[in-house]
A and B are shown apart, each in its own frame.
Chain A
Amino acid sequence: MTHYRFHILCCGGTGCKASNSAGIVRKFEAVLKEKNINDVQVITTGCFGFCEKGPIVKILPDNTFYVQVKEDDVENIVNEHIIKGRKVERLLYTDPKSEGHVSDSKHMGFYKKQMRIALRNCGFINPEDIREYIAREGYAALGKVLTEMTPEAAIDEMTKSGLRGRGGAGFPTGLKWGFARKSVADQKYVVCNADEGDPGAFMDRSILEGDPHSVIEAMAICGYCIGATKGLVYIRAEYPLAIKRLQIAIDQAREYGLLGKDILGTGFEFDIELRYGAGAFVCGEETALIHSMEGQRGEPTVKPPFPAVKGYMGKPTNVNNVETFANVPVIYLKGADWFNKIGTEKSKGTKVFALAGKINNVGLIEVPMGTTLREIIYEIGGGIKGGKKFKAVQTGGPSGGCLTEKDLDTPVDYESLAAAKSIMGSGGMIVMDEDNCMVAIAKFYLDFTVDESCGKCTPCRVGNKRMNEILDKIIKGNGTMEDIELLKNLATVIQDTALCGLGQTAPNPVLSTLNNFYDEYVAHVKDKKCPAGQCKDLLSYVINPDKCMGCTACARKCPVAAITGTVKQPHKIDQAKCIKCGTCLDTCKFGAISKQ
């Protein structure tokens, strides 16, 4: 076996791939070959998480973390780092505070507070090679469970670990498995819910792209526990890379006898197939997901019966989310007692979040439960972009709520977030600054749920549409105080009467912005003003005649010729013509133009 001097890990997640990481890999291979260097291995890995600074290249064994690497940098890295052993300083991460270079990711603010369990192999191994997973103790948990534990004991261990569903609802995984085990049937199914649909969320995609075997191993363990021989992964067709890697992983696992008949000689049989979804948010709801897999219209039905009793094709079915499964093998390897020491009293382990919005370090993070929002936003996320003021953070995606300054010290766990009137959700976390209008934010999320409603029940089909129309009216300056009352009533009734989780939680962004930013609503309605200056219909661009030098720059740039005036004389904006594009504001060098 070749002994490698260096391993060059290049991120092959969807984000970095979009920034040409595949080209970087090819270039590394070409340059190494050209220079006849044979003791360096180039590996395409899954996501490192620090997407803000991608494409990322990490060099082992010295753990050097290069950011925003381009194809043209490759030759330089090889010449300097690989050949001469000198780090390429200009490609290292610059700490925004000390402004010094940080070469080891362990010392970067982004990674310091993170703890990677579900993402343990992402950005470390080649997801398309089962041997790399096995080298990281992969399939050892399956072996342990199959040979040393009864299904009941394995379920007990899972219950003891305190792992709860990472899809959003936080149902105890061990309990769920126990229900499915109890159901008596000739066939049972294990389903992996990979229908990640929150806007901006990519936790599950990254796990499947970076470490597909962890999910496969967990599904097999679950199959053993509940007595199922068939597994299905419901994955959205928009995840081509995840699908490809998952399929490769399944094929390899079969080849290695880790899927199929008589796994590891124990007589246990289990195999996995993929089922593609067409990308409907509602299909993340387990009954809708099951209907979709059956070839039916993807819409939810009333529970009970629960899938554990009557699921896919009428058979008992256990549905868990990707991230939940990714935690499973580690729990059996290190023990429930190890896992349940991480996190808070009722929320054990870690949680992956897709950190996005007006934040410096956009990316995928994994933190122990109980980490505060402040730590996540200011330490891991590096604070608000452009030094602006923090306004709110939305957790739980379109089903969640927004939390404000007063909630920043809330520990992130299921109970605390619920107490603060938001939810954990599947892990979307979007940060907003002072420029975000909260009415517009509520509308943004509602636009999404209106689009994604299946149309089955009245409150969601018509109610959300009507809420959206009222918000639109308010944003355009046509709202009345009665509209706000109507909105409140509608939101409450939809929450109270919709058929499934999607409908019941769709009003959350409206209710939480109404709770936290009621004044902003009132300003839109009574003063016809958008305090954040985001709602175009409620703002006007005005030239201060005292500051205007009459340089004509703004008039020349205005796309609709709304600005008039003679040279060296103060100019004026014709409000009837103005389309509020903001070009003049950006153009003016004298600070004479303002939004009002």
Chain B
Amino acid sequence: MDMIKITIDGKVFEVEKGITVLEAARKNGIRIPTLCHMNLSGLRFVNKPASCRVCVVEIEGRRNLAPACATDVMDGMVIKTHSIRVLNARRTIIELLLSDHPKDCLVCMKSGNCELQDIAHEFGVREVRYDENCAMSTYRKDKSPSIIRDMDKCIMCRRCETMCNEIQTVGALSAVNRGFNSVVAPAFEQNLVDSACTFCGQCLAVCPVGALTEVDHTWNVIQAINDPKKVVLVQTAPAVRVALGEEFDMEPGTIVTGKMAAALRRLGFDYVFDTDFAADLTIMEEGSELLDRLQRFLGGDKTVKLPILTSCCPAWVNFFEYNFPDMLDVPSTARSPQQMFGPIAKTYFLEKLREKPEYKDLKREDMVVVSIMPCVAKKYECSRPELSYEGNPDVDYSLSTRELAAFIKRMNIDFNSLPEEDFDRPLGESTGAAVIFGASGGVIEAAVRTAYELLTKQQCPSVDFKQIRGLEGMREAIVPLPEGMPLKEIKIGIANGLANARKLLEAVQRGECDYQAIEVMACPGGCIGGAGQPYHHGDSSIIKKRQEAIYREDAGKPIRKSHENPYIQKLYEEFLIKPLGEKSHHLLHTHYFKKREKYEEVDD
């Protein structure tokens, strides 16, 4: 590594060639403030438009101040990060940003999590010296089932744009207009819901201010809990339990499953269940589907679509519906765990409840299913018309991890001192296979644990398929099968981040893909990096710690294969009869739509 010498604020440092002034300063304990800049190196996301100009520094010999985030160090460079010239410029810029920003911090969803608020506070900006009637750039608000765009608050950092275009290749958001009126928006001022948006929500996960936020359903949930007629069930996704603690000042990666169950009970939910139960169910259905396709393929059926694609991630479903309309028969028809849980609760569990005298007349409409998800696309998924029965949605409300944390705080619960409690039965029991759904590669590892045994009628040599795990955006893994099988191995592709998914899908389209199965998660890192999780504020090491926690939780589970979950077995015995059976077909599988078609019709 080539090292060079630079001087920052009078001190000489030896730094590696090729890094930026910002990186050099940070490595040496000098914190230059930034706003538009974000580097999630672990998740391949780098946004450095050098546009906010908050990180400007003085470099000797240069006429103008230079943005630290986009200026490479050079040998002998002399940098001042807090000269009066720099401080004045920085303060002026923050003030300018504030002058075009609504002053409604008290009621803003991002208050306390807002990087503009933090930086203004840090800089001691106590007044904005511009006319109080100065022009503000204002825009139409846009509310979709998942995401609210309040672009009056946009500071043009363009993180959302980079995320949407480069990491996700969704292309729903880009800068429009110019000058003072420039803003990030869908083309032609479309509403998000009419655009290519998948509701993955990664835009709002990186938004430094309150311009992009999620739709909040907490109050609806409080109303339902307080309605004596209603029985309110809650299900929690696997990735929530390894991140919720962060909202209560716990170390990232702390597992809070027990405290979470206790909190949910204290919030007033009648039954505290687990989406993990439905994840085990998903494996039974999706694993069987994989097996069925494999067996038909090996039997010589050339019409079988392989690789099978997972369908747990609603943003991914939106993505292929919009971008790959001619491939709608490739993904698994299995619903996501959230949407498997809903109908099972509202049929199987409803029937069970009706056996009790106090619930004998309980109607479907009076059973409210709430999900706690690391995700904002799940909100949209709940609202999909085909995922309902006679107008009553299978899942009524979906709250994000962040909303749950706020809900707990609002209800005067001291989370950290809660005891560890368990989920309720029967929809609360799950295996380690279900837990790992939360991390990229987890769904397919869980499926392999089951499919392997169903296919080979033998025990897996080990349940830990470590070759499948990781945070890299595109991976492949080969699972060898025992001697004597018609297939030597199962070849698996894994993508997280929709740009990687696109690459894989295009390879499938071109017929260059010899995988039997592909897992796709829209969010970088999988659900642990979901847009509903506590804000990472640019620290991608948090995602890594959540991932480690997921696999710790899995390792600690007594049962680690979905088909061995006794309550799942019971569900099939008592109700569903068999995977891919008649009942499953109605309750647990879905179909897909050509999402773009309605717009194309308009064009014609």
Contact = CB atoms under 8 A, between A and B. Distances in A.
Q: Do A and B bind each other?
A: yes
Interface of A: 280, 297, 299, 301-302, 304, 450-459, 461-463, 465-466, 469-470, 473, 482, 486, 489-490, 493, 495-499, 504
Given A302-B67, A469-B130, A459 B53 contact: yes
Given A458-B93, A469-B130, A495 B64 contact: yes
Contacts of B466: none
Nearest to A299: B175
Chain A CB count within 10 A is highest, among B72, B129, B156, B180, for B180
A455 B180 contact: yes
A453 B179 contact: yes
B383 interface: no
A451 B93 contact: no
B89 interface: yes
A302 to B, nearest CB: 5
B181 A493 contact: no
Contact of B97 (A450, A458, A496): A458
A373 B135 CA distance: 39
B134 A461 contact: no
B251 to A, nearest CB: 35
Chain A CB count within 10 A is highest, among B71, B85, B182, for B182
B497 to A, nearest CB: 22
A65 to B, nearest CB: 44
Contacts of B181: 455
Contacts of A299: 175
Interface stretch (B44-52, B336-344, B524-532): B44-52
A287 to B, nearest CB: 12
B96 interface: yes
Interface of B: 49-54, 56, 64-65, 67, 70-72, 85, 88-89, 92-93, 96-97, 99-100, 129-131, 134-135, 155-156, 174-175, 177-182
B32 to A, nearest CB: 14
A462 B92 contact: no
23 contacts: A299-B175, A302-B71, A454-B178, A454-B179, A455-B177, A455-B181, A456-B156, A457-B51, A461-B180, A461-B182, A462-B96, A462-B97, A462-B100, A463-B92, A465-B135, A466-B96, A466-B134, A493-B88, A493-B93, A497-B64, A497-B65, A499-B50, A504-B64
B101 to A, nearest CB: 10
Given A450-B179, A469-B135, A456 B49 contact: yes
A458 B53 contact: yes
Chain B CB count within 10 A is highest, among A454, A456, A469, A495, for A456
Nearest to A452: B179
B90 to A, nearest CB: 9
A490 B92 contact: yes
Contact of B92 (A455, A473, A482, A493): A493
A450 B96 CA distance: 15
Contacts of A456: 49, 51, 156, 175, 182
Contacts of B175: 297, 299, 455-456
- Nearest first, the 3 A-B pairs at minimum CB distance are A455-B182, A453-B179, A462-B96
Contacts of A457: 50-53
B226 to A, nearest CB: 46
Contacts of B99: 462, 466
Given A450-B180, A454-B182, A455-B181, A497 B93 contact: yes
Contact of B53 (A301, A452, A455, A497): A497
Contact of A455 (B65, B85, B179): B179
Contacts of B72: 304
A497 B180 contact: no
A446 to B, nearest CB: 12
Contact of B89 (A280, A482, A497): A497
A131 to B, nearest CB: 44
A497 B54 CA distance: 9
A453 B50 contact: no
Contacts of B179: 450-455, 461, 465
Contacts of B131: 469-470, 473
A496 B177 contact: no
Contacts of A486: 129-130
B469 to A, nearest CB: 35
Contacts of B135: 465, 469
A105 to B, nearest CB: 43
Contact of A459 (B85, B88, B96, B174): B96
A453 B53 contact: no
A460 to B, nearest CB: 8
B96 to A, nearest CB: 4
Contacts of B96: 458-459, 462-463, 466
A346 to B, nearest CB: 18
Contacts of A493: 88-89, 92-93
A455 B181 CA distance: 7
A489 B177 CA distance: 28
A163 to B, nearest CB: 24
A299 B49 CA distance: 11
A455 B178 contact: yes
A129 to B, nearest CB: 40
Nearest to A504: B64
B178 A498 contact: no
A466 B65 contact: no
B178 A496 contact: no
A456 B70 CA distance: 15
B126 to A, nearest CB: 16
A31 to B, nearest CB: 50
